[in-house]
Amino acid sequence: MMSSVQYYLIAGRGCRGEANSSSNYINVIGGFVGVEGTGFVVNGSAFYFNGFNAYWLMLVAANANATANATATATANANATATATATAPQRGEGLDFVVSEAGKHGIYLILSLVNNYKDFGGRPQYVEWARDRGENVTSDDDFYRNEIVKGYYKNHVKTVVTRVNTISRVAYRDDPTILAWELINEPRCEDDLSGATLQGWIAEMGGYVKSIDRAHLVEIGMEGFYGASSQFRKQFNPNGLVFGTDFVPNNQVQGIDFATIHAYPGIWLSNWTNEEQLRYLRDWTQAHVEDSAALVKKPLLFTEFGKSLRDSGSGVPQRDALLEAAFDSIYGSAQNGGPLAGGLFWQLLTDGMDGLKDGYEIILSLNSSTSKIISNQSLRLWNLAGKHQAISTETRG
Residue 161: C-alpha distances to residues 13, 69, 206, 223, 260 (Å): 26, 25, 13, 24, 21
Q: Do residues 51 and 341 lie in contact, with contact meaning Cβ atoms separated by under 8 Å?
A: no
Of 314, 300, 303, the closest CA to residue 250 belongs to 300
First to last CA, the chain: 47
Q: State yes or no: is 361 an active-site residue.
A: no
Shortest CA distance to 186 belongs to which of 119, 105, 95? 119
Catalytic-residue membership of 147: no
CB of 57 within 8 A of CB of 5?
yes
Here the contacts of 273-280 (C-beta below 8 Å, separation 24 or greater) are 273/313, 274/313, 274/314, 274/318, 274/321, 277/322, 278/321, 278/322, 278/325, 280/238
The amino acid at residue 300 is L
Query: Which residues have a Cβ under 8 Å from the Cβ of 333 and sit 6 or more positions away?
Result: 289, 300, 339, 340, 341
Angle at 231 between CA 248 and CA 192, to 5 degrees: 70
Q: Which one is catalytic: 182, 219, 223, 304?
A: 304
Give the SS3 label for residue 161. Answer: helix
- Max CA separation in the chain (angstroms): 66
Catalytic residue among 186, 219, 223, 361: 186
Alpha-carbon gap, residue 248 to 100, rounded angstroms: 35
Q: Which residues of 119-144 are buried (b: 16+ CB within 10 A; e: fewer)?
A: bbbbbbbbbeebbeeeeebeebbbbb
Report the side by side order of strands in the sheet with 109-112.
109-112, 178-182, 217-219
Dist CA 295 CA 274 (whole Å):
31
- Residues serving a catalytic function are 186, 304
